[in-house]
Amino acid sequence: MSSHRIVVVTPDVLGEKMAGPAIRAWKIAEALSAEHEVVLLSTVACSRSSDRFSASFADKKAFVRAVDWAEIVIHQGEIMATQPSLSKSSVIKVADLYDPIHLEVIEQSRALDPDQQLLLWGATLQSVIIQIIRCDFFLCASPKQRDFYLGHLAARGRLNPATLGPDLSVDSLLAIVPFGIEENSPKKKRSVMRGVVPGITDDDYLLLWSGGIYNWFDPLTLLRAVARVVKEIPTTKLVFMGATHPNPNVPAMQMAQAARDLSLELGLTDKNVFFLEDWVPYEDRADYLLEADVAVSTHFAHIETEFSFRTRLLDCFWASLPVVASSGDSLSAAITEKGAGRIVAPEDERALAEALLELGRDREERGRCAARSGELAADYRWSIALAPLVEFCRNPYRAHDLSDKKVRNMVIATNGLKIRAGNGIFPLRARATNFFHLARRREFKTIKQRFAIHFSPYNSRESHRRRKADKVNRGL
């Protein structure tokens, strides 16, 4: 085993306040730095440092230099779409697909008009497709996600005679690497809610929503259920952590405002329901978890839920916190099987209220659920979760199909792409990258015509005429 030069890159903010993608990237860098030289990059902002690895912000020039230095690049989200130098490079590429952004963006963009939503979804989908075609190794978060991404890989020709040879299996291409939990048990440093937030006391039955309020979650059913619970247990208090996301590129969610509006309408705000405006610093989250009685997480029954991995629930296991949540995602099954809380059907206000009432009235049952929640934590320690990635980085390799010129050219051709000398690159990659940047910035008017041309059928005479006219208009 030899040491390797590894770059880990996230499109999220690295700092005192971090969301899931940044936390995951940080933990990956920590784990790999024990054996390798690691550089952690953010394409947004970085104000956090480590004595175990280098961490910094990277603009395009710095990113190119990092890719040229690296032997392995591990990346998340839209990085390959926004950084074309990575796609061009012969470096070993590991795509971390734990967050199915092409499903998530459908819910995230519900407030946009249909044309704008289509543009944003199309750009996000392209960012995933580029990774599926160009990367050497893939990470997902659960067995269900494994099946999901196997479908992607098969449809794009990556399950082929080279990757599924006599001595190979799908595991050489795709590994389950869930989100993880700290190795050490959480310790309380100070009071943060009880006796600190006006209206929350030591004797209250305290419910905690331990993350952001995104469009794919359902805080509205929870608020209506809490209104029912308050009639039976008046000391019930619900706290929403992290109302404002630390990443400026993450837009304000329609559902967050809807939750505030409904809480006001029900007369709960600042009496039984509290919204913490600032994102809780990463190192302080244990204080909030350890003060709560029950964690709550409710979502809708849609496709995003089926393939999601609710990372916020892992911290609840870490803090031995009972969980009341909606069914449908991969962790809800583990909670039910272990008896670590209560799982109810999505949008079932009555069942949710009954579950909260049961745990509010029965302290002994709440204690049993807390103990079982803590037992779940052992299955998700970072040292266990990251083991497949750690092993890959000890003996890294290019994907067997991408390192074979004939197979690589076949993969490129079957995806409707042009075969070029060297790596074989998307003929429209530059335009795809521009689409992604413009769509993320919501500059829909600027890209509407170009996007329509790009996605027109290639064998259409009208499409050809419009592409030719577009080139003339742009002086090409």
> How sure is the predictor about 471, in pLDDT bands with cuts at 50, 70 and 90?
low
Q: Looking at the domain that runs over 205-380, which CATH code has it been given?
A: 3.40.50.2000
Could you read off the pLDDT of 334-389 as tens digits, one per residue? Answer: 899 999 999 999 999 999 999 999 999 999 999 999 999 999 998 899 999 999 99
DSSP 170-201: GGGTEEE----B-SSPP---S-SSTTTSTT--
Mean pLDDT over 294-319 rounds to 86
Could you read off the pLDDT of 260-269 as tens digits, one per residue? Answer: 999 999 999 9
**pLDDT above 70: residue 463:** no
Biggest CA pair distance of the chain: 75
Mean pLDDT over 205-225 rounds to 93
The span from the CA of 425 to the CA of 134, in Å, is 9
**pLDDT of res. 168:** 81
**pLDDT of res. 446:** 62
**pLDDT of res. 293:** 98
Higher pLDDT, 428 or 275: 275
Whole-prediction pTM: 0.82
**pLDDT above 70: residue 172:** yes
Taking CA 463 as the corner, what is the angle to CA 447 and CA 444, rounded to the nearest 5 degrees? 10
**pLDDT above 70: residue 280:** yes
261 alpha carbon, distance to own chain's centre: 27
Q: Determine whether domain 5-180+386-442 maps to CATH 3.40.50.2300.
A: no
With the C-alpha atoms ordered 107, 110, 115, 117, is the resulting torsion angle positive or negative? negative
Domain ranges of the chain: 5-180+386-442, 205-380
> How sure is the predictor about 424, in pLDDT bands with cuts at 50, 70 and 90?
very low
> How sure is the predictor about 444, in pLDDT bands with cuts at 50, 70 and 90?
low
The secondary structure of the chain in percent helix, strand, coil, rounded to multiples of 5, reads 45, 15, 40
